[in-house]
């Protein structure tokens, strides 16, 4: 199998699985228990928290474990709006956020909130000037992803944080960094981001574990899950110790030769882009600079068919259009592409383990697909 869909999820290295297995079978104590095994696991959870916080550049006590990025996004939005409930009911986000942000915003619109969705240019980018133009006195929250999961565009989170400080705005800033953590610069504490969402399975960790950074401007954040008092009373529930161990181990592995891994993925991306564009009939989609995501369109060839046929050959990519009943994804729709280009969008995403040979095989398969068919649109 040739796996080139690492923006969807990533394989778990053996060292990560081994770390989890040890916790499941030998270190299975409940961190809330008072006997030695429980006390040891409580200390282990805090060590693992410190590993992840260290990679994020924040204090360990600012990081809270959740079940996934979606939970982190929802908690951040709820907490921000609760804190600013007397400031206003205006939210700024982008039209190309993950559904974990856009769907809560749709629900909030039904509750009387006003949502401003910033639309990207044809290059897929959002500018801080757009945020400035949308900012109002009653803006309670700005929620902006760090890296778009379909185009790889890096959004101006750092600049937006600076803008809010410059304007002395009470609006809180949330960043969905699920696609950005350990792939691009990511410094919530240094930038002044109030909350940042993470997920383990995008970087070689297990599914079912995420985290939320909560910064100093969040005064007495509203608990997501009241209960037994875990996660300093803000997210109760017995800690998922094996998943947390796997998250920390995955971070440790990614940190080894970190710059080399980023350079390797960036070089693979450029190699793939050049080979695909040389085929003819392939156009780039967006100007994403994240090292691991490449979006292109095989113009006129429905992406769902491409993904299905390549999958049957053991080559895994995704339809950037995320076709649903023939409709393009909200991200592709927001770019304003013509119908044939939008229909053919595919996303190729890399890990440090991918090779030039993987790209070569992909290009051969795509060329064969194109040459054996007339455009269907």
Does one domain contain both 96 and 219? yes
Q: Where are the alpha helices (DSSP H) in the chain?
A: 14-25, 36-56, 69-83, 99-110, 128-134, 157-166, 188-191, 241-255, 258-279, 303-312, 330-334, 339-343, 356-371
Predicted model pTM: 0.96
% residues pLDDT > 70 (the chain)? 97
Closest CA to 246 of 9, 19, 72: 19
Tens digit of each residue's pLDDT (9 = 90 or more) over 75-84: 999 999 999 9
Residue 321: predicted pLDDT: 44
284-287, long-range: CB within 8 Å, 24+ apart, which pairs? 285/124, 285/151, 285/320, 285/332, 285/335, 285/337, 285/341, 285/345, 286/123, 286/124, 286/125, 286/148, 286/150, 286/151, 286/152, 286/153, 286/335, 287/123, 287/124, 287/125, 287/153
Does one domain contain both 161 and 261? no
Report the greatest alpha carbon distance in the chain.
Answer: 69
Tens digit of each residue's pLDDT (9 = 90 or more) over 167-219: 999 999 999 999 999 999 999 999 999 999 999 999 999 999 999 999 999 99
Quick one: which H or E segment has residue 63?
A: strand 63-66
% residues pLDDT > 90 (the chain)? 91
What CA–CA distance (Å, rounded) separates 341 from 219? 47
Residue 10 has pLDDT above 70, yes or no: yes
In this structure, are residues 316 and 4 in contact, taking their beta carbons and an 8 Å threshold? yes
Residue 205: predicted pLDDT: 98
Determine, yes or no, domain membership for 9. Answer: no
Does one domain contain both 64 and 50? yes
Determine, yes or no, domain membership for 376. Answer: no
Determine, yes or no, domain membership for 158. Answer: yes
Tens digit of each residue's pLDDT (9 = 90 or more) over 315-371: 999 996 444 445 678 999 999 999 999 999 999 999 999 999 999 999 999 999 888
Determine, yes or no, domain membership for 46. Answer: yes
Does one domain contain both 233 and 94? yes
Does one domain contain both 147 and 26? yes
Does one domain contain both 164 and 301? no
Closest CA to 239 of 108, 64, 12, 15: 64
**pLDDT band at 32, cuts 50/70/90?**
confident
Residue 372: predicted pLDDT: 83
Give the CATH number, domain containing residue 321: 3.90.1150.10
Tokens representing residue 85 in the block: 């409930």
Residue 376: predicted pLDDT: 58
Tens digit of each residue's pLDDT (9 = 90 or more) over 278-288: 999 999 999 99
Domains of the chain: total: 2
Residue 371: predicted pLDDT: 82
Determine, yes or no, domain membership for 363. Answer: yes
Does one domain contain both 210 and 108? yes
**pLDDT band at 375, cuts 50/70/90?**
low
What's the whole-number average pLDDT of the chain?
A: 95
Nearest 10 degrees: Cα torsion 329, 331, 335, 336: 30
Active site residues: 323
Q: What share of the chain is helix, strand, coil (3-state, %, to 5)?
A: 40, 15, 40
Q: What are phi and psi of 40, to 5 degrees?
A: -65, -40
Tens digit of each residue's pLDDT (9 = 90 or more) over 257-284: 999 999 999 999 999 999 999 999 999 9
Cα first-last separation, the chain: 30
Domain that holds residue 49: 14-255
Determine, yes or no, domain membership for 187. Answer: yes
In this structure, are residues 293 and 346 in contact, taking their beta carbons and an 8 Å threshold? no
Does one domain contain both 270 and 248? no
Reduced to 3 states (helix: H, G, I; strand: E, B; else coil), residue 260 is: helix
Residue 29 has pLDDT above 80, yes or no: yes
What integer is the mean pLDDT of 86-107?
Answer: 98
Q: What is the DSSP letter of 235?
A: B
In this structure, are residues 363 and 276 in contact, taking their beta carbons and an 8 Å threshold? yes
Does one domain contain both 33 and 87? yes
Does one domain contain both 177 and 326? no
Residue 377 has pLDDT above 60, yes or no: no
Residue 322: predicted pLDDT: 43
Residue 91's Cβ-count burial label (10 Å; 0-12, 13-18, 19+) is: buried
Does one domain contain both 80 and 143? yes
Give the CATH number, domain containing residue 55: 3.40.640.10
Length of the chain as a residue count: 377
What lies within 8 Å, CB to CB, of 243 at 6+ separation is: 20, 200, 205, 206, 208, 209
């Amino acid at each position: 199998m040739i796996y080139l869909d690492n923006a969807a999820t990533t394989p778990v290295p053996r060292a990560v699985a081994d770390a989890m297995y040890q916790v499941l079978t030998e270190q299975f104590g409940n961190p809330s228990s008072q006997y030695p095994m429980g006390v040891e696991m409580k200390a282990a959870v805090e060590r693992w928290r410190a590993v992840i916080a260290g990679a994020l550049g924040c204090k360990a006590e600012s990081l809270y474990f959740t079940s996934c990025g979606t939970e982190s996004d929802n908690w951040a939005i709820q907490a921000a709006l609760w804190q600013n409930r007397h400031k206003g009911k205006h939210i700024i986000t982008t039209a190309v956020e993950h559904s974990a942000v856009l769907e809560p915003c749709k629900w909030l619109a039904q509750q009387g909130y006003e949502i401003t969705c910033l639309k990207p240019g044809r290059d897929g980018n959002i500018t801080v000037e757009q945020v400035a133009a949308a900012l109002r006195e009653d803006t309670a929250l700005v929620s902006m992803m760090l890296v778009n999961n379909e185009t790889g565009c890096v959004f101006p989170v750092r600049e937006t944080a600076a803008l809010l400080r410059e304007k002395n705005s009470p609006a809180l800033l949330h960043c969905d960094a699920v696609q950005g953590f350990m792939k691009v610069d990511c410094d919530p504490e240094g930038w002044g981001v109030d909350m940042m969402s993470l997920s383990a399975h995008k970087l070689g960790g297990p599914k079912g574990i995420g985290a939320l950074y909560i910064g100093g401007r969040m005064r007495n954040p509203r608990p997501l899950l009241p209960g037994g008092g875990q996660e300093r009373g803000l997210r109760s529930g017995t800690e998922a110790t094996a998943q947390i161990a796997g998250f920390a181990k995955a971070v440790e592995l990614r940190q080894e030769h970190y710059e080399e891994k980023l350079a390797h993925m960036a070089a693979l991306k450029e190699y793939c882009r050049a080979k695909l564009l040389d085929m003819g009939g392939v156009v780039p989609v967006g100007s994403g600079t994240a090292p691991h995501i490449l979006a292109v369109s095989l113009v006129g060839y429905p992406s769902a068919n491409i993904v299905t046929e390549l999958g049957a050959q053991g080559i895994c990519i995704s339809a950037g259009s995320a076709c649903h009943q023939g409709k393009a994804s909200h991200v592709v729709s927001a770019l304003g592409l013509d119908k044939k280009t939008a229909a053919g969008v595919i996303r190729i995403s890399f890990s440090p383990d991918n090779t030039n040979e993987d790209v070569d095989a992909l290009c051969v398969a795509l060329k064969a697909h194109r040459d054996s068919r007339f455009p269907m649109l």
